Chains A and B, each alone.
Chain A
Amino acid sequence: MTLPLRLRKVLVLSPPLIWVVLFMFVPYTILFVFSFWEQVYPTFAPAFQLGNYQTLISDPQYLRTLLRTIKIAGLVSLFSLLLAYPYAYFLVHKVRHPALRQTLYMAVVAPLWVSYLLRAYTWKTILGTEGILNSFLVSTGILSEPSSIFLYNQTSMIVTLTYVFIPFMVMPIYAALEKIPRNLLEASADLGMGRTATFVKVTLPLSMSGVVAGFTMTFCLAFGDFIAAYLVGGPDGMMISNVIATQFGASLNWPLGSALALVMLLIVLAIISVSDRFERLGKGTFA
């Protein structure tokens, strides 16, 4: 007994469709509606007004936090790239033994299996005034007394976030580099190109899709993070997600929090669409 093709299509497609509608479309619609409500003591009430969006523009605290978040997320992506690219290149081109390559690859990816919270917390014990780093520096005589500059500031947030999200940079770059046919590199060498020229003209352009994918992922993940600010950030480490959490929490201003969340969503969507174009640019089909 076979079901008609149409029914089969419906059956196959409906679970993901229902999932998307229930968990993506409905929540965002609710968020969208909430963003026009207003805060009325003791909670908030339905309304249709643009006050929340006006507040986001007129009160400098939101733009300031947004810019800081973009700065931190950008630096996290940049440092991840600077570390991940040479590592992935080394794995693909220098490590000949497949088992060793696999092991080194897993060494970077494996921390993903450990709870993010635990990994971020570990950095606290490393960077603290009485932490491992300070103990080491004092015992080796590099510092005369423990320094407090390693923890509770934006640098410690960037270090932690880079560590936490770097696998998302290594994986796509590794995949992109591995896909480059070796004969292209050989052809480049045959035509008299040096190693540097081959890298710049062949390897790098062909791996750009991995770089863009990695940059997008690490940026978006860091952009939405709020745990690092809480655990290792200092008084100047507030991220945009912390502000949203505060609006939905202590401030009990869900309408403003919703407006902020939508702005954040738009920024992330914009980044994804730009990176999508970049990726197509890499494939020569920029549109």
Chain B
Amino acid sequence: MKMKTRLTGALSAVAVLAVGVTPALAEGELNILTWEGYADTSFIAPFEAASGCKVSATYVGSNDDFAPKLAAGGGVFDLVSPAIDSTAPLIAAGFVQPIDTARLSRWSEVYEKFRSADGINSDGQVFGVPFSWGAISFMYLVDKFPTPPTSLAALWDPALAGHISLWDDKSAIYVAARLNGDMDIYNLTDDQLAAAQARLLEQKPLIRKYWSTAGELVDLYNSGEIWISNTWAGYQSGLLQAEGVDVKEFVPTENAEGWVDNWMIVANTPNEECAYKFLEMAISEEGQCGMSAITGYSASNPVAAKACMTPEQYVALHQDDPAYLDSLLLWENLGPRLNTYANAWNSVKSQ
């Protein structure tokens, strides 16, 4: 059964590749650098048919993957979708261009709080279109936990040695810092960073594998390798449940991080026309509910969400309560400290 799933996966990967190399017959094309789930055919195919813009997606495994890909230049990508903590460096480096929100008929419907966020506003210009939001929650295999875990300490439990996984991302530092009781995770002092590093090193012998893509995390649960990890709330758990793996998400007592993803137009794209068509779709019903259905993330446009979600889904995704996001530790741009955090995480991995 598992083998069959893998084979199907491999075959569909081949199919995707085959589709990917088919010459675009459409009027325009759009190369997007984004997260798994944000270019799903369920809503991208209708967009392609309606707009005449052929979409090709490349996936990232971390917010820190956006800037390097754009720094390599070459005009490869037209749209990117970083989270709110990673938008400022892209703007500062000149990798993205301002967005004319007047060209987006649904712009004013997006949560005001997201629209006015510092991360996408610079010099009176808007650089990002909020698309989705959610939490970095935690997840466990139900049948392995007679008592459901409630604390991050579960990820440091020696009894679970060899069955723990953590996202290969600087956010690992955030997780360890919170376990240490340092809740101001975006302004850690050097001492607090060192303490977080020590925590992660203490956890390392218990780690089966650090996961780097949604697909890899799903595979790790699916093949019986891991029992507990952090996750992009809604997404991987949905994929696993669809495959019959009983996993459950939880927000630990040490809280979880929150995020908002934003579409940004890469500077000097030759496909601006298609990019705007895509943005228009992204914050309308097709994009918002298309994305939510695939990823389980919350939508940025409550008007569109209300129109296309069931009332239960609308409530479950906290669409009526964006203040929920305030209860989470919303990702912040680390500025020049980013390198220090990244290096701290690299150092842990190198041990």
Residues of A within 8 A of B (CB): 39, 41-43, 59, 61-62, 64-65, 125, 128-131, 146, 148, 151-152, 230, 234-236, 238, 243, 246, 248-254
Asked whether, in the complex, the Cβ of B64 is within 8 Å of the Cβ of A249, the reply is yes
| Contact A152-B65, Cβ < 8 Å, known A125-B3, A236-B204 | no
Contacts of B335 in A (CB 8 A): 41
A252 lies within 8 A of B67 (CB): yes
**Nearest A residue to B91 by beta-carbon distance?**
A42
Q: Top 8 nearest A-B pairs by Cβ distance?
A: A42-B89, A250-B64, A61-B350, A41-B336, A235-B207, A130-B224, A42-B93, A61-B347
Q: Is the CB of B338 within 8 A of A41?
A: yes
A43 x B223 contact (CB < 8 A): no
Partner of A61, one of B3, B64, B346: B346
B225 close to A (CB within 8 Å): yes
Give A146 to B162 CA distance when docked, in angstroms.
Answer: 13
Q: Cβ of A234 and Cβ of B208 under 8 Å apart?
A: yes
Q: How far is the CA of A254 from the CA of B71 in the complex (A)?
A: 10
Instruction: For the complex, give the distance between the alpha carbons of A236 and B350 in Å.
Output: 7
Smallest beta-carbon distance A249→chain B, Å: 5
5 A-B pairs (CB sep. < 8 Å): A41-B92, A234-B209, A235-B204, A243-B346, A250-B62
B: residues with CB less than 8 A from A are 2-3, 6, 62, 64-65, 67-68, 71, 88-90, 92-93, 162, 169-170, 204, 207-210, 212, 223-225, 335-336, 338-339, 342-343, 346-347, 349-351
Contact B343 A130, beta carbon cutoff 8 Å = no
Looking at A146, A248, A252, the one whose CB has the most chain B CB atoms below 10 A away is A252
Contact B71 A43 (CB under 8 A): yes
Query: Known contacts A39-B339, A41-B335, A251-B64: does B351 contact A236 (CB below 8 Å)?
Result: yes
CA distance A65 to B349 in the complex (A): 10
Question: Which of A62, A129, A238 interacts with B223 by CB under 8 Å?
Answer: A129
Which B residues are CB-close (under 8 A) to A251?
64, 339, 342-343, 346
Q: Is the CB of A246 within 8 A of B346?
A: yes
Q: Min CB distance, B88 to chain A, in Å?
A: 8
In the complex, which residues of chain A have a beta carbon less than 8 angstroms from the beta carbon of B347?
59, 61
Contact check, A43 vs B6: say whether CB atoms are below 8 A apart. no
Q: Are A129 and B225 in contact (CB under 8 A)?
A: yes
A62 to B346, CA, bound (A): 10
Output the nearest chain A residue to B163 by Cβ-Cβ distance: A148
A45 to chain B, nearest CB (A): 11
Known contacts A129-B224, A130-B223, A238-B350; A249 and B207 CB within 8 A of each other: no
In the complex, which residues of chain A have a beta carbon less than 8 angstroms from the beta carbon of B162?
A: 148
How near does chain A come to B122, taking the closest CB pair, in angstroms? 12
- Taking a contact as CB atoms closer than 8 A, the residue among B169, B212, B225 that contacts A152 in the complex is B225
CB B216 to nearest CB in A, in angstroms, measures 9
Report the separation of the CA atoms of residues A182 and B185 in the bound assembly, to the nearest whole angstrom: 72
* Residues from chain A with Cβ under 8 Å of B343 in the complex: 59, 251
Q: Residues of A contacting B64 with CB < 8 Å?
A: 249-252
Given known A130-B2, A152-B225, contact A41–B62 (CB-CB < 8 A): no
Which residues of B are found within 8 Å of A250, using beta-carbon distances?
A: 62, 64-65, 68, 169-170, 342
Report the Cα distance A252→B71, complex, angstroms: 9
Please tell me if the beta carbons of A235 and B349 are within 8 angstroms of each other in the complex. Answer: yes
Contacts beyond the supplied A251-B343, A252-B64: 15 A-B pairs with Cβ under 8 Å: A42-B89, A42-B92, A43-B89, A61-B346, A61-B347, A61-B350, A64-B350, A230-B212, A234-B208, A235-B209, A235-B210, A236-B351, A250-B62, A251-B342, A252-B68
What is the distance, in angstroms, from A264's C-beta to the closest C-beta of chain B?
A: 15
CB-CB under 8 A from A130, the residues of chain B are 2, 223-224
The distance in angstroms between the C-alpha atoms of A151 and B336, with both chains bound, is: 38
- Measured CB to CB, the closest approach of chain B to A20, in angstroms, equals 24
Chain A nearest CB from B68 CB (Å) reads 5
* CB neighbours of A254 from chain B (8 A): 71
CB distance from A3 to the nearest CB of B (A): 39
Tell me the bound Cα distance from A76 to B339 in angstroms.
34
**Once bound together, how far apart are the Cα atoms of A243 and B343, in whole Å?**
11
Closest to B164 in A: A235
Question: Closest approach, in angstroms, between the C-beta of A168 and any C-beta of chain B?
Answer: 27
Partner of B68, one of A62, A128, A249: A249
In contact, A65 and B350 (Cβ under 8 angstroms): yes
